[in-house]
Structure 1
Amino acid sequence: MSDLLKEQFDAVAQSYDLQRRQLIPCFDDFYSTATAWVNVDKISPRILDLGAGTGLFSSYVRKKYPEAQLTLFDLSEEMLQGARIRFGEDSSVQYISGNLATYLFEGKQYDAVISSLAIHHLSHQDKRALFHTVHNIVTDGGIFVNADQAAGTSAYFDNRYKGQWEHTIRQSGLSNEVVASAIERRKLDHNATVENQLKWLREAGFVEAESVYKYNEFAIFFAQKY
């Protein structure tokens, strides 16, 4: 993940949560479905949020598992500062600032790994490597829920998705400056198809892997380790 990407997310950290609902046309369905698939048979599960940003996805999961032990991981320290404000003095929430493509989670085990709108920033090679890492650090029976972006099956669909998204956010009430910034950030995306991401999850060792939701380029992936 590039320094440019870090700079762009540092710059929008303070307003990111306020903008996110308007930048994601399917916001409510997207996050409610992702949260619904986070099912762990423990009262106090250990949950790792990759690319956690300001902790939005973790906050939904926390409502479902009030006694969860959360670890929030993100490239941007400014984003994590937003998460610290969100969770306050909660001692069961830990924070790690690092690069998803290079960080070593040695000796760590989690009952669930979650992520939202982060992994698509990685190169395809780094995505595949990360899926192997996730499989290694999730416990037997543990799960991986990734709510992310996915490429269309062809350039035709990618262009249709992009056009619909840009039309929607221009009608959302966001300022021209915010819209332009969001479009600029999207130039750094490395979306992979649903088919390839499922293939890479299975290659990593997840016998069960499925796309459980899709709205244009927004997709949710669920995988379980046995």
Structure 2
Amino acid sequence: MNRWTSAEHALSYLSRADRIPHRTEGERVVLDHVPLDVWRVLDVGTGDGRLAALLKCDRPFMECVVLDFSPTMLEKVTARFGDDPLVTVVAHNLDEPLPALGSFDAIVSSFAIHHLSDDRKRSLYGEIFAQLKPGGIFCNLEHVSSPTPALHRHFLESIGYGEHEDDPSNQLLDVQTQLNWLWELGFNDVDCYWKWLEMALLVGKKPQADPN
């Protein structure tokens, strides 16, 4: 069940997002690894545009395409970037293949892809690889699964959620399976660059074009 078309659910998430422990640590690692000289960035499942806005703080001249399907999130991200001609807001449901948007120096995502089925996650990673320029980077700051139910309950408690608040839209998957997919799809320098409980940053780079 996907609740993200509900304004109430989207607004409830936004009201708590800034208070999620350690989230800014993961975002800092994203900022450390997306080059300052990127020209074009895609934010997949942008929400209210939080991560894209952080990237633009030190990269004000980058062109950014931000995708989301929640009407509430689209309203919020449009309001955030309304005066910035370098930001394009696109309504798109990630259950469907990525639209043809051109190529990107970096593609990022923040707590969005875990709402997709596992088959769709892997397909999306392939579509992301196809739209990256050679040498481009993919950073997925993601909600991943715990190895045991007890550790999942510990995570919920650690972020101030009760078990009844567990989002039924979540389709969590372990880190290693997703890293293996990235390797199989052709990414290199693949690793989990940061992790705290069920929050992890998965990164891969598209190899440079062979000069021969």
Q: 1:214 to 1:12 in 2, by over 3 A?
A: same
Hey, what does 1:25 align to over in structure 2? 21
The within-5 A match list for 1:212-223 is 212-223=193-204
**Among 52, 59, 62, which residue is 1:58 paired with?**
52
> Which AA in structure 1 matches 2:197?
N
| Structure 2 residue matching 1:39: 3-state secondary structure | coil
Separation of aligned partners in 1, 2:193 and 2:164: 26
Hey, what does 2:75 align to over in structure 1? 81
1:147-191 CA-partner distances (Å, limit 9, x unpaired): 001123x3x2x431x322332344xxxxxxxx5698242x22111
The within-5 A match list for 1:55-204 is 55-106=49-100, 108-152=102-146, 154=147, 156=148, 158-160=149-151, 162-170=152-160, 183-185=165-167, 187-204=168-185
Separation of aligned partners in 1, 2:185 and 2:34: 20
Q: 1:18 to 1:182 in 2, by over 3 A?
A: farther
> Which AA in structure 2 matches 1:125?
D
Per-residue deviation, 1:73 = 0.2
| Structure 1 residue matching 2:56: 3-state secondary structure | helix
Runs of 4+ in 1 over 6 A off after TM superposition: none
Separation of aligned partners in 2, 1:37 and 1:180: 34
| Structure 1 residue matching 2:18: 3-state secondary structure | helix
Separation of aligned partners in 2, 1:182 and 1:19: 16
| Structure 1 residue matching 2:176: 3-state secondary structure | helix
Any gaps of 5 or more consecutive residues in structure 1? 171-178
Instruction: Give the superposed CA RMSD.
Output: 2.0
Per-residue deviation, 1:89 = 1.3
> Which AA in structure 1 matches 2:72?
E
| Contact 2:97/2:127, CA 8 A, preserved across alignment | no
| Contact 1:37/1:222, CA 8 A, preserved across alignment | no
| Structure 1 residue matching 2:200: 3-state secondary structure | strand
Question: How many aligned residue pairs are there?
Answer: 207
The within-5 A match list for 1:7-26 is 7-8=5-6, 10-14=7-11, 16-22=13-19, 24-26=20-22
Separation of aligned partners in 2, 1:180 and 1:214: 22
TM-score for the superposition, normalised by structure 1: 0.84
Hey, what does 1:34 align to over in structure 2? 30
| Structure 2 residue matching 1:219: 3-state secondary structure | strand
Any gaps of 5 or more consecutive residues in structure 2? 208-212
Q: 1:188 to 1:12 in 2, by over 3 A?
A: closer
| Structure 1 residue matching 2:98: 3-state secondary structure | coil
Higher helix share: 1
